[in-house]
Amino acid sequence: MISNHEIDYYIHGEEMQCVEIELDPQETVIAESGSFMYMDNGIEMHTIFGDGSQQNSGGFFDKLMGAGKRLLVGESLFMTAFTNSGYGKQKVAFAAPYAGKIVPLDLSRLGNKVICQKDAFLCAAKGVSVGIEFQRKLGTGLFGGEGFIMEKLEGDGMAFVHAGGYILERDLAHGEVLRVDTGCIVAFTSTVDYDIQMVKGIKNAIFGGEGLFFAALRGPGKVWLQSLPVSRLASRILSYAQPGGRKEEGSILGGLGNIFDGDGF
């Protein structure tokens, strides 16, 4: 892996954020397709195969395998590199895909590796490797919400991920366990053990509305959680868009539920 480029940044906005990155001459930042917002005149844009972390090492097959793994986490084979080809400092900015927060990750202070949900990656300093992380436990892969494959960011530079709603950081002590809705996990450091636990009690499992499983995160390490997973937001929007609207109440209360909360008038 080549050494990571050092970049300075500033995050703008509240609900709909963008990150502005300042590049010194010959510094490069890589980004997912579709996240670009604007750039100064001295910055050049190039499409690269994979994430650029193996541009100067390994053969074609190694590069093909590294890029191909990205398809498994919903990313494309190609990324875009933005390089400052001028003489002074230049800026380039990337926008979040939906309402939420951009999380800066200094990998050099996080054990050089962070595991995150699929599609969370936004951009990073060139040299950061964007790959996949297989869940070795069968139960975690089947019921953990993210399947057997998650995204991993490796290196010693800055990386930026995006998630929905408010972002909460938790530092877990050794042996400390945090039980989380599986969709609310954004990222965690490599020292955190990720497992699942079944919801106790038949009534809780069937009528609780929170699913059958929790994600169990055991420290030590750092965890990032999101208050509004995009899947939850999409599900709620679809439920209102369907004929009859509020399906969660219509099956039992019908229009009565809408009247009680003021939507029936």
The pLDDT of residue 71 is: 55
Q: Measured on CA atoms in the order 162, 167, 173, 179, is the torsion positive or negative?
A: negative
pLDDT, greater one: 113 or 256: 113
Contact 127, 3 (CB under 8 A): yes
The whole-model pTM stands at 0.77
pLDDT reading at 213 higher than 80 = no
The pLDDT of residue 72 is: 55
The pLDDT of residue 206 is: 47
Question: How confident is the model over 254-264, as pLDDT tens digits?
Answer: 444 443 344 44
pLDDT, greater one: 145 or 10: 10
The dihedrals phi and psi of 205, each to the nearest 5 degrees, come to -70, -40
Separation between Cα atoms, residue 210 and residue 123, nearest integer Å: 32
Q: What is the mean pLDDT of residues 7-29?
A: 93
Question: How confident is the model over 146-193, as pLDDT tens digits?
Answer: 445 788 999 999 999 999 989 999 999 999 999 988 889 999 999 999
The lowest-confidence range among 24-33, 53-62, 138-147 is 138-147
Share of the chain above pLDDT 90, in %: 42
Question: How confident is the model over 58-86, as pLDDT tens digits?
Answer: 554 455 555 555 555 555 567 899 999 98
* pLDDT range class, residue 50, cuts 50, 70, 90: low
What's the mean pLDDT when you consider all of the chain? 77
The pLDDT of residue 171 is: 96
Domain architecture of the chain: domains with CATH: 8-228 (3.60.160.10)
pLDDT, greater one: 144 or 83: 83
The pLDDT of residue 123 is: 93
Q: What is the mean pLDDT of residues 96-107?
A: 92
